[in-house]
Structure 1
Amino acid sequence: MRKTCCIIILCFFYFGTVAQNVAVVNSNPISQKEFVWVYKKHRPGNTQPTLTDLISFLNIYIDFKLKVEDAKAAGLDKDSTYIAETKNYEAALLSSMPPEAQKADYSLVINEYKEALLLFNISQTKIWDKVGEEEDSLQEYYNSHKQQYSSKLFDEVQTEVSADYQKKIECDWVTSLRNKYKITIDQNLLNKLIR
């Protein structure tokens, strides 16, 4: 009986620590391990992050995850070119990684690559192609924001207008994704990460 109780307690402890998710985006968890790994990778240094730092970074990361969700919803993860490219990367990474690194970060690195590639592919469709295809919309954007460009002619500021229009398209896209998908954040876990 004592052995059974110990096993049950250890199972609860194990699943409690493994299942700690900083956030959940459309039923897909962002584990504490993944979030800390990505945070440290993009915010190197030994300084202790503040809660504001973590929340700000988490929101950027959630936006990334939302775009990946949209790419999956569009079926881009089923594309044969994408599958071949990720398999090639995985094989190359495995052959070049020392065994101890394979155990530690391998799955995180592979997942990051796969998601980054999906992000690139969906951004091509949702943002970059649109700017090239929507010359009238770009001109319309310029006309409604002319004062922002010191009333310079469109041809003189077209690159800047295109960049601003891309930001607007992306902002609208993220807003629609945040409305479409359910997002849950574990504020208590974030508080524990700053201690």
Structure 2
Amino acid sequence: MRKITMTLSFVFISIILVGCQQSNDKKLDNEVSNTDKLETQAEVTEGDFTYRLVTEKAEYSENEPIKIYAELEYTGDREEIEIFHAASPFYFPMVEITRNYEIEYGMDMPLLSTTLVKGEPLRGEYVGSGGYSSEDKNEYKEFMKRVMNKEFPAGHYVVNGIADFDIKVSEGTELEEKYELEAQVGFSVQ
């Protein structure tokens, strides 16, 4: 009787695991098709700031440079405003959804300031990203080496762009207001 119970338990658990795997596969397929719907330009407004994220093309060839940039524009009442940020206010982390690989975007973290003039966008371009550790699988390492060398392998990419900065609430105070504007664009490499 115990053998039958163990066998039935094993079969039941196997069926559940196979069902879960099929569910995950469907989710990945949906994500790929959703990338096809992503735009090459996105714009977000929060308070007195407009953030734009752009990839110049929806489809690149494997040997073609990937052109991505972000803009931050001040639209408030003043003529100019000072923002505080790391090496840049712009971050370009990505996900290659065919392989489900995250492409991190590291940055130096000094405290810098930039003056934004009303109606004149500040622009920052994607200059490369990625990284890996010695524990990562060889396939992942090879993929990241190519990305770090700005040679994107074929796949579907989603850029999860961020503009991250602070402003002083009023002159002469230490109080700051934090902004983290996010937008998403997508592109494919064939």
TM-score of the alignment, normalized to the shorter chain, above 0.5: no
TM-score normalised by length of structure 2: 0.23
TM-score normalised by length of structure 1: 0.23
Q: Relative contact order: is structure 1 or structure 2 higher (C-alpha 8 Å, sep ≥ 6)?
A: 1
Higher percent of residues as helix: 1
